Chain A
């Protein structure tokens, strides 16, 4: 699985959009971009995934650049309950977690 690079931490304001970047410059054509998050003392939770096209669901939107070397997870209206570690994963056959981004949503 390709390596991904994420900022170690970021803050965002409650009610505002949170944009979480991820670099995956070595991603191969058959690897999907997956996002999971892990709230304190819980197991990781699936958020969204995509291959080439942008995707949206009830939790978030995923924007993938045309060259697929980077992506952005967008939480449209961050709430305090969105405080968590967010993992971006370039998934081939395995789900391999990196260090993730620790997101703190502040009131």
Chain B
């Protein structure tokens, strides 16, 4: 079974530029998550989708971050404009859909903002 796919794996941009990350969850998984992991810290939930609807985006900095999950499958996370403190690994995860279901994580997209 294919896992959660993310791209790009690495991205280096200058501050004030924009960047987009893509995630393809495991087939059939209704719930999709984006986490931000700053070096040395645990992952922090940015946004959770159930199918193509947002369940929780309370920790998403909405002035610069946006995410969408069109058709309830793939998702993109965009940052515009990027700040130095956005340097982190952006992890996508998916689960079948139950509240307590196991989350399967992708390998992440590492962003460096210069």
A residues sitting closer than 8 Å to B (CB atoms) are 32, 36, 41-46, 49, 85, 87, 91, 93-100
- Which residues from B are CB-within-8-Å of A95? 33, 45, 103
Contact check, A97 vs B93: say whether CB atoms are below 8 A apart: no
CB within 8 Å of A: which of B41-63? 41-45, 48, 56
Question: Given A43-B93, A43-B107, 11 more contacts at CB 8 Å?
Answer: A32-B100, A36-B103, A42-B108, A43-B108, A46-B102, A49-B100, A85-B42, A91-B100, A94-B56, A97-B43, A97-B44
Contact check, B45 vs A43: say whether CB atoms are below 8 A apart: no
Interface of A, helix, strand, loop or mixed by DSSP: loop
**B91 is an interface residue with CB less than 8 A from chain A:** yes
Contact check, A43 vs B91: say whether CB atoms are below 8 A apart: yes
Docked pose: A43 CA to B41 CA in angstroms: 13
B residues sitting closer than 8 Å to A (CB atoms) are 4, 33, 35, 41-45, 48, 56, 91, 93, 99-100, 102-108
Q: List 22 A-B contacts (CB under 8 A).
A: A36-B103, A43-B4, A43-B91, A43-B106, A43-B108, A44-B91, A44-B105, A46-B103, A46-B104, A87-B42, A91-B100, A93-B99, A94-B45, A94-B48, A94-B56, A95-B45, A96-B45, A97-B35, A97-B44, A99-B41, A99-B42, A100-B42
- Which residues from A are CB-within-8-Å of B106? 43
Contact check, B100 vs A43: say whether CB atoms are below 8 A apart: no
